[in-house]
Amino acid sequence: MKKFLALLMAIAMLLSATAMASEAITVGISVMKTGTSPDDGIFAEKGITMAVEEINAAGGINGRPIEIIVEDDQGTTEGAVNVVNKLINDGASFIIGPHRSASVSAVADILEANKLPYITAGTGVNLKQAVMDGLWNTLYFCKPLDSMQASIAATAVIDLFAPGKVGILYTSDAFGTGAMEVATEVFGNAGIEVQCESMNPDDKDVTGQILNFENGGCDAVLVWVHNNDMVVVARQTYELGFTTPILTSGATVLPQVIALMEEDWVDGWYAVTNYSRTSESEAVQSFRERFLERWEEEPEVMSASYYGAVYIMAEAMKNCEDPADSAQICAALENVDIQGVISRLRFHEGTHEFASEAFVCRMEGLNPIVEKAVDAG
């Protein structure tokens, strides 16, 4: 009888261990599939889905598959709070997103209280400060922060154009203002005079700002605006015959932005981006091929960034005794150092950033050509 009971127990333990090993690890995804920038969320979801499919096909995390729960946060703070609360209730061990910096700020205290790790490509300067101040210890970044990108862009303006005076055109929100402040500081340190002009998001006319740069005698202009606004700036600078050299944020090289522009508008412009389809990097080209095969469309920076976020998470989970344990994941994230698509992805203590590389591209017509890669890490 005793032998029989022992056998039963052994079988039960074996079954339990097997079940544990194959039990899916729940990962919550908060993306904006509706609202003002749904294409960002949809591209992000495609990158995440592809990465999860690849990891699961390769055997998952120590034998356990990843199961994702994707929720639409609409790109709003209320939406993000609702989504994150739902994902916590659904038992997520890790959260990817939300993307908007304001949304990240809105959910940060909730996730901090639950000690739940989350990673975002939201890159507001305020987020980095909160992490550095030790307020949000479970927040991680899979994309270089705005401050880093703006600094790279400003340095590139100095290197490329050696200007005596620089114009900065930026959107009047956190994205544009944060970059403007960083770039102004870089130019100031180099003894370069700065003229700032702003545009409101979705503004349809920037004639006044462009003419102000012309009258101000700027030798180069740094443009830091959102995707659709970049189209307006490109068209109007071209139509006004504005020939001053221009370097922009990554919006110029996005396929959905390029699709709206004409060749002459941006020919000769420069842009700083984390992802360029023309990069010769093997990681970029391999990712691009797989993405094209999976989704039949060109990937962009959001898909590349969030694809990397999944691999950062997976790498950390692999090194955990229990890959679904949030505290263990947080500890393991600090040892992550892998090659991603947009950058080498290694943990930076203090700021919780993983990516630190960017490309400076020159536009040949509508074709972004990578001039150089910059590692600000």
Partner 1 sequence: MLLRQIIQLSVSGIAMGFIYALVAIEYTLIWNSTGLLNFSHDKMIMLGAYIIAAVFFDKIGLPVYLCFVFSTVIMILVGFLLSNLVFIRLSKLPTIFSVMGTILIGQIIREAIRLWLGSTPYAIKGLMTGVYRMGNIAISKANVYIIVVAGLVLLALMLFINHTKIGKAMKCVNQNKNAAALMGIDVQRNIMITTAISLVVCLIIGFMLIPLYGVNLNMTSNISTKGFAAGAVGGFGYLPGCIVGGIIVGLIESISVLAIPSIYKDYVSFLVLIVVLLLKPQGILGKKA
Between residue 143 and residue 182, which ones bind partner 1 under the rule CB under 8 A? Answer: 172
Those residues with Cβ within 8 angstroms of residue 241's Cβ, 6 or more apart along the chain or in another chain: none
Is 243 a binder of partner 1 (CB under 8 A)?
A: no
Residues comprising the chain, all counted = 377
- 162 or 240: CB nearest partner 1: 240
Q: CA-to-CA distance for 121 and 273, rounded, in angstroms?
A: 13
Is 134 a binder of partner 1 (CB under 8 A)?
A: no
Q: How far is CA 337 from CA 8, 238, 239, 312, 313, in A?
A: 44, 43, 47, 8, 11
Is 259 a binder of partner 1 (CB under 8 A)?
A: yes
Is 296 a binder of partner 1 (CB under 8 A)?
A: no
Between residue 60 and residue 79, which ones bind partner 1 under the rule CB under 8 A? Answer: none
Smallest Cα–Cα separation from 49: which of 35, 68, 31? 68
Q: Is the dihedral of CA 272, 274, 275, 280 positive or negative?
A: positive
Structure tokens at 96: 């990817």
From candidates 158, 211, 373, 376, binder to partner 1 by CB under 8 A: 211
From candidates 45, 73, 146, 197, binder to partner 1 by CB under 8 A: 197
Q: Quick one: which segment of 16-24, 138-146, 238-246, 306-314 binds partner 1 (CB under 8 A)?
A: 238-246
Is 248 a binder of partner 1 (CB under 8 A)?
A: no
Q: CA-to-CA distance for 294 and 103, rounded, in angstroms?
A: 29
Half-sphere exposure of 356 (CA within 13 A, CB side): 14
Give the nearest distance from C-beta 78 to partner 1 in angstroms.
15
Is 203 a binder of partner 1 (CB under 8 A)?
A: yes
Helix, strand, coil % over all residues of the chain, rounded to 5: 50, 20, 30
- 84 or 199: CB nearest partner 1: 199
Interface with partner 1 by CB under 8 A: which residues? 34, 36, 38-39, 42, 172, 197-200, 202-209, 211-212, 215, 228, 231-232, 235-236, 239-241, 256, 259-260, 262
